[in-house]
Structure 1
Amino acid sequence: MAQFPFGFGASDSGDSGGFDMNNLGAMFTQFGQMLQQSQNEGPLPWSTVMQVARSVLGTDPSVTDASVRAVESAMELADLWLNESVTFPASSTVVKVWSRSEWLVETAEVWQKIILPIATTMSQRMETMLPGLADSEDLNGLEDQLPQELKAMLPDGLTPELMAMLKPMLGMVTQLGATAFAYQLGQALSALAKEVVSSTDVGIPLAPAGTRALIPLNISEFAQGLGIEERDLFLFFALRESAHQRLFDHAPWLRPRLMSAVEEYARYMDVDVASLGEKFEGFDLTSPEALQQVMASGVLEPQDTAEQRQAVIRLETLLALIEGWVDEVVTQAAGDRLASLGQLRETMGRRRATGGPAETSFSTLVGMKLRPKLFREANTIFAAVRAKSGVQARDALWNHPDLLPDAEALADPLGFVQEVAGGSAFDDISMSDFEKDEDQG
């Protein structure tokens, strides 16, 4: 027989009908306190997300004047170098120098847009477990109506009186799922805040439009043990940040296409709610440590479906192309002028392989794992196109999404180059050439 959930057991007699109603009342009180804060925020209670993130982040040193000067100087030099190696012009941007907590605040709006489709899908999946049960008047038959996932969380032979007290919990299950996801998201964002070095370090522009930003404290920690001068570090990451900025400014379709890919991924998600019973059986609701463990354990994790696999392929291909192009551009811009470039690129490669910010973000927050091999293949394509047809041909691939290599091309990068990079056909292509076809599609 299943135990009572949330750490409350039956009476000493072993009779579930003799369940201690005082304990049940305490359970509802604890439940209400946990859910009250987020009850009006829908499937993604962002106040809970930020509260958890700030709490886990802890002490956060302020940015120093010296760091501000170092970042601004690095950004100026990065623009000069990129002007020589990329066809996309520099746009009017504001340079920001963030602390970790400032990264949390400044990127919150974009994170909400990224995560909301996933949270909404999870909420809808939870609601399908409870079709009208919370409003049912048939207490005698209510237990029979419960989904197997919830029956696993409750003891056998519940009396109508006990079911009457448990019934309000049915309406809370969806909100409990949202709160669980908010805890998991808050912890993940806090971990990212301690690791990201720029506003685009996860592969998606998280800063407000027209903003380039670095996080000096994380850059310093990134450099520990590398023996690289701080000036080189700031310049390297300024080059990467500025290259990202130029790409997204030149290809205005890119940002919404990324968001659309995330939404598509979320639309085909399935959630393994059967594991909820296992997660909460014997759970002590009065223990903050136990609550944190459950919320961080992936209570709601996306499950594999055929449609979702296709959505993953489209999303990870686009992310690989962005990172591959940025690395190619930065390598050409720095050239022999940045002595530590080779070491920094090797370090970035190990970072991706072991789970850098981009890999962590999409694994923990979105539920998908990025493959470093795709980045290497994308990088090969952009470098080969440049070597074969020049910088303009390489950058012109971003004039329209249909020009970019797809997943099949990434599996055969040299084949793609041989097919499309033999001449200068890309040079004069612009978005207007495809508008008619898109309207018809």
Structure 2
Amino acid sequence: MTDQPHRPDDEFGDEPFDLGEILRSLTGGEANPELMAQLQQMGLGSMDPAMMQQLQAQIQAMMSAPSDGSLNMSVATDVARKTVSAAGDPSISESTKRDVEQVTAVADLWLDAVTDFASTGAGKAWSRSEWVEATMPTWRRLVDPIATAVGGAVQRAMREQIERLGAAEAGGMPGAMMGQMEPMIARMSSGVFAAQLGQAVGTLAGDLVSGAEVGLPLVEGDPVVMLPSNVAAFAEGLEVDAGEVHLFLAVREAARVRLFHAVPWLGPALLAAVQSYAGDIRIDTEGIEEALQGIDGQDPQQMQQALQGSMFNPEPSEAQKRALAHLETLLALVEGWVDQVSAAAVAPHLPHAAALAEAVRRRRATGGAAERVFASLVGLELRPRRMREAAALFAALEEAGGGARRDEAWKHPDFAPTAADLDDPAAYVAGERTIEAGSGTDDMDDALAALLAQGTDELNAERSSEDDESSGKDKGEDDEPGPTPS
């Protein structure tokens, strides 16, 4: 078979497609003649040229994954951007950006009256694509362990399917040919998972009203991010003035971001809980094999559709159950605190605050399409199931000792409320909770303790340096007045 140069999309016409050209582009070298003959006998050489061209484009996109099997973030980001673009992603006008800055400034004024946790700065209005770009680094950290496990399982399932197909139709596939196919399968499985990540993040981008609404600190630097298009969609069916809805949601996001910024252990603890769950993921190999049996193994789109909902074992491990319980408690505490603080902040100003709060609770409690897509990707639901109990606990703390007592609950992870405290908030408020004797710590606890110790050492060193500088000044030298704390 002679080599043919690559041709533009509009020049294929009805000419037979060169299977050798496809294999060379996919394997990065010369096509094995025996492998090419094997695939010809499987029917790949007689496909419609237009269909073959589309297949080659899909596979080449998947094959751009690194050969080490790591997650291809360029594919994930591209799929996420295409997902939001297909659903509509209007650009943010300058007037909308100014409106969001003003709304966030008002939200900060109201929050200053009810919490000492400081503001993190001006609000930002982002398009869905901007949110995708900004959050992708964090998503990669969260799903890398899953990508590795899924990649191995898909490779095993595809290898067995190809061997069965070759044995049935061509008397078996020699080991040398299988060796040439395996790099293709590895890259393709990595690309398929990256495409699923992109679809999940893109779907979330079309649903979230603010940058950290899922309850995780996804954006570096703790900015207050609003997604105006999604806010407008949320406001449509509420029969409440859109301006009031925007203010209410901005207060919630600003409160959430203040909490992440003021409590340095909280964000790492949330992400560690997700990573701990993902690190013990068990892949349902039999489910993947069953899903792949009825599809064209060379079609990445069919592979992606088949894998959705079939990747994970239905029964989580004991380690996953512990991580999930910890994650759900933390998410409930975050949203419960945000509920309580936001309610106090907006009560004097927004006439429909109670109705809006209930609408937000229903939204989080019932989930939606975006949450289901994420659950199919990571195997867990980001849902604060006990948000009402957490809000009641923080309300009890505030009633007992004001906003300062409420916020002190976050000062150290060892003393933050637990699931048991949500069952008995009165005991927690009264300070009667005791840590069970003999309860050991896990890796996540140790990591958090090390993180806190490092932060304490750095803070003490900084203070010591400041004290040394202060003691070295002449007694008659007046200090420059510092800025007044806000």
Larger Rg: 2
Identity of aligned residues (%): 36
Q: Which residue of 2 aligns with 1:386?
A: 398
Q: Which residue of 2 aligns with 1:89?
A: 118
Match of 1:301 among 312, 337, 348: 312
Q: Which residue of 2 aligns with 1:65?
A: 94
Q: Which residue of 1 aligns with 2:189?
A: 177
Q: Which residue of 1 aligns with 2:233?
A: 221
Contact 1:201 1:357 in 2 (8 A): no
DSSP 3-state at the match of 1:241: helix
- Structure 1: how far apart are the matches of 2:69 and 2:416? 37
1:30-64 residue CA offsets vs partner (Å, 9 max, x unmatched): 59535322134743111111121122222421112
- Structure 2: how far apart are the matches of 1:314 and 1:151? 43
Moved more, 251-260 or 217-226: 251-260
Q: Which residue of 1 aligns with 2:71?
A: 44
Q: Which residue of 2 aligns with 1:99?
A: 127
Match of 1:23 among 24, 31, 43: 43
TM-score normalised over the length of structure 1: 0.78
Contact 2:104 2:122 in 1 (8 A): no
Question: Per chain length, whose mean CA-contact separation is higher, i.e. which structure has more relative contact order (CA < 8 Å, sep 6+)?
Answer: 1
**How many aligned positions are there?**
394
- Structure 2: how far apart are the matches of 1:124 and 1:405? 39
Q: Which residue of 1 aligns with 2:266?
A: 254
Contact 2:108 2:251 in 1 (8 A): yes
1:293-314 residue CA offsets vs partner (Å, 9 max, x unmatched): 235x235335511111111111
- Give the superposition deviation at 1:414: 3.6
- Give the superposition deviation at 1:248: 1.3
Q: Which amino acid aligns with 1:339?
A: P
1:255-276 residue CA offsets vs partner (Å, 9 max, x unmatched): 2222222221122111111122
Alignment of 1:345 with 2:373, yes or no, is no
DSSP 3-state at the match of 2:385: helix
Q: Which residue of 2 aligns with 1:205?
A: 217
Q: Which amino acid aligns with 1:52?
A: V
DSSP 3-state at the match of 1:184: helix
Change in Cα spacing, 1:94 to 1:41, as seen in structure 2 (3 Å) is farther
Q: Which residue of 1 aligns with 2:83?
A: 56
Match of 1:239 among 247, 251, 254: 251
- Structure 2: how far apart are the matches of 1:161 and 1:326? 60
Change in Cα spacing, 1:359 to 1:287, as seen in structure 2 (3 Å) is closer
TM-score normalised over the length of structure 2: 0.72
- Structure 1: how far apart are the matches of 2:432 and 2:221? 33
Q: Which amino acid aligns with 2:64?
A: Q
- Structure 1: how far apart are the matches of 2:299 and 2:153? 28
Contact 2:42 2:169 in 1 (8 A): no
- Structure 2: how far apart are the matches of 1:26 and 1:385? 72
Q: Which residue of 2 aligns with 1:80?
A: 109
Change in Cα spacing, 1:387 to 1:358, as seen in structure 2 (3 Å) is farther
- Give the superposition deviation at 1:20: 4.7
Q: Which residue of 1 aligns with 2:62?
A: 35
- Structure 1: how far apart are the matches of 2:300 and 2:71? 21
- Structure 1: how far apart are the matches of 2:46 and 2:181? 13
- Structure 1: how far apart are the matches of 2:148 and 2:301? 27
Q: Which amino acid aligns with 2:143?
A: I
Unaligned runs of 5+ in 1: 1-16, 135-145, 422-430
Change in Cα spacing, 1:382 to 1:356, as seen in structure 2 (3 Å) is farther
